[in-house]
Amino acid sequence: MHEASIAESLIELAEKHLREGNHSAVSSVTVRIGRLSGVMPDALLFAFEALKGGTPLEGATLLIDVIPQGGMCKGCEKEFSFDGPYISECPLCGGAEFSVTRGRELEMTEMEVA
């Protein structure tokens, strides 16, 4: 639901990087959006298209890498992936001590500039 604010922040962040690097044009912006972040990629794309007009990102395409859920277990010391919004035990060993390491991303990663 807050994809409009996210798109707005993204455009401001990209503008800042453009200014700092003295770049004149940008053709694409790439972001990483985790499945646990609560941000819907389609809604973000829609908001970006609606808000980019009149900004230096007017001609830019938004590329979204959707990052699936993943974790790291302290018991078996292995990485694992999972589906759904939460997980209560390590799917590999059943251990309860693990951390969610992927899926919460909400970051910009790169830009294609001129």
Partner 1 sequence: MNIKVVSRILEANDRLAEDNRKIFRDSNVYVINLMSAPGAGKTTLLERTVSGLSGKKKIGVIEGDIATDSDAQRIAALGVPVVQINTGGACHLDANMIREALSGLPLKDMELLFIENVGNLVCPAEFDIGENEKVMILSVTEGDDKPLKYPLMFERASALVINKIDLLPFVDASVQKIREDSLRLNPGMRIFEASAKTGSGLQPWFEWLNQKGK
Q: Given the rule CB under 8 A, which residues bind partner 1? A: 1-2, 4-6, 9-10, 12-14, 17, 21, 23, 31, 36-39, 85-86, 88, 106-114
Candidate segments 22-30, 33-41, 56-64, 94-102, binder of Zn ion by CB under 5 A: 94-102
Nearest residue to 45 (alpha-carbon basis) of 23, 60, 25, 27: 60
| Minimum CB distance to partner 1, residue 13 (Å) | 6
Select from partner 1, Zn ion, none the partner in contact with residue 76, using the beta carbon and a kind-dependent cut-off of 5 to 8 Å: Zn ion
Residue 43: enclosing H or E segment and its boundaries? helix 41-51
Q: Which two tokens stand for residue 10?
A: 């993204």
d(CA 62, CA 64): 6
Residue 76 in the binding site for Zn ion (CB under 5 A): yes
d(CA 52, CA 61): 10
Residue 87 in the binding site for Zn ion (CB under 5 A): no
